Structure 1
């Protein structure tokens, strides 16, 4: 399905972005693609946890302590472990290090810098940052390689069927999902990095913020969040099909196929 088909019937209050990058020495010419409907920037909803884990490795002297928090932050999207890194190292330090390594500049949220999931991003920025992470891992950066391996271990409802959309069962995946009490939308985001070999990489990103205005549904959702219950099923119902469609369309535009590049 094309981007136009995916976006043409969206509610006027929805915000959707998709972006992708294909590049690397020894492969076809670099290619980038992006599309946007609605807001230019969206809260990241934990999509950046692997990037936070990657740069945190250089700021934690105890490698076992880093792994103890970084691995669950990536593999099961643990908020508590992400906070342990985010607050101990400092939001400014982490985001400055991401900027230094990837060229992508993000800022801590103005209201409460401790809320790592409130950093605002654009899909093309996320794609750029993950392309650098993936290529660093392939080139021998041990922390980057470890984080990419953890992303390949993400499974179950937390993947939102992204590997199936990418037609790549071995793809690295990270998703983020949340609907804050001050929002009338659910944010569901995903990044996937299918395997390519060498230092070549392909990255696809989809960001969605779709209307979620029913008072009863929103109240039940917040109760579940406050009780620490899973809300992935609600995000799947609201956003899952669109999220997968955006990723599939992005990869198609990049010329990606399960066996390699077209």
Structure 2
């Protein structure tokens, strides 16, 4: 399927992006692909949690404490544990460290500094940052390698079928899903790091922000969040097919071949 087939019928208020990068070491320049419909930047939801965990390790002397929060932040997308890292270290410190490591600069969201999921990003930026992270893991960074292994453990509805769409059962995956009360859309995002061997890396990112304006549906959605109940099925019904289509098309355009 072509990108145009996926995007041509999107509502005028929707946003969708996809990006991918495939690169190695000592070989040809990186191959990249990206596409966008709608806003240039979208709120990141939980897409960056593995990256936050990666840089947080350098700022927490107690490795056990770091792991107690970092592992559930990645494997089950725990917001409480992410906040423990985000606030104890500080958003500016984490984001500045990510810039230093990856060359990708993201800004602290305005207003409430606790809203780590309100950092605004573009899909190509996310792909570039995760490619650095993936190659660090492959080159022997033990923290990055541990986090990438946790990403391989993300399962069930929290993976949104990304591995199946990419034909890569061993891919590390992290998804993000949320719709804030001040938004008229639901955000559903995914990143996948595919195994390639050596220090090569292939990363695929898809991001969507689709209208969700029915008053009753929105009230029900936020009531479930307030009670701590899962809402992944809502995001799957609204955006799952588009998310997987963007990811599989991006991988195809990258020319990736399964090993």
TM-score scaled by structure 1?
0.97
In structure 2, runs of 5+ residues without a counterpart are none
Equivalent-residue separation in structure 1 for 2:4 and 2:120 (angstroms): 25
Q: Does 1:172 align with 2:186?
A: no
Tell me the equivalent position of 2:240: 240
Secondary structure in structure 2 of the residue aligned to 1:175: strand
Whether 1:192 and 2:189 are equivalent positions in the alignment is no
Structure 1: runs of 5 or more not aligned: none
The SS at the match of 1:17 is strand
Partners of 1:29 and 1:80 in 2: CA distance = 40
How far apart, in 2, do the equivalents of 1:27 and 1:198 lie? 12
2:13 is aligned to 13
Whole-angstrom CA distance in 2 between matches of 1:170 and 1:97: 28
In structure 1, distance between residues paired with 2:225 and 2:178: 9
Q: How many residues align?
A: 259
1:257 matched residue in structure 2? 257
Match of 1:75 in 2: 75
Report the CA distance between 1:121 and its aligned residue. Answer: 0.3
Take 1:110 and 1:234, find their aligned partners in 2: how far apart are those partners? 27
Aligned to 1:142: 142
SS at match of 2:188: strand
| TM-score, scaled to structure 2 | 0.99
Report 1:1-262 matches (<5 A). Answer: 1-25=1-25, 29-259=29-259
Distance of 1:245 and 1:230 partners within structure 2: 24
Residue 257 of structure 1, CA deviation: 2.4
The C-alpha deviation readout for 1:67-98, integer Å capped at 9, x for no partner, is 01000000000000000000000000000000
Instruction: Give the CA deviation at 1:111.
Output: 1.0
* Equivalent-residue separation in structure 1 for 2:215 and 2:116 (angstroms): 27
CA distance in structure 1 between the aligned counterparts of 2:235 and 2:93, rounded to whole angstroms: 31
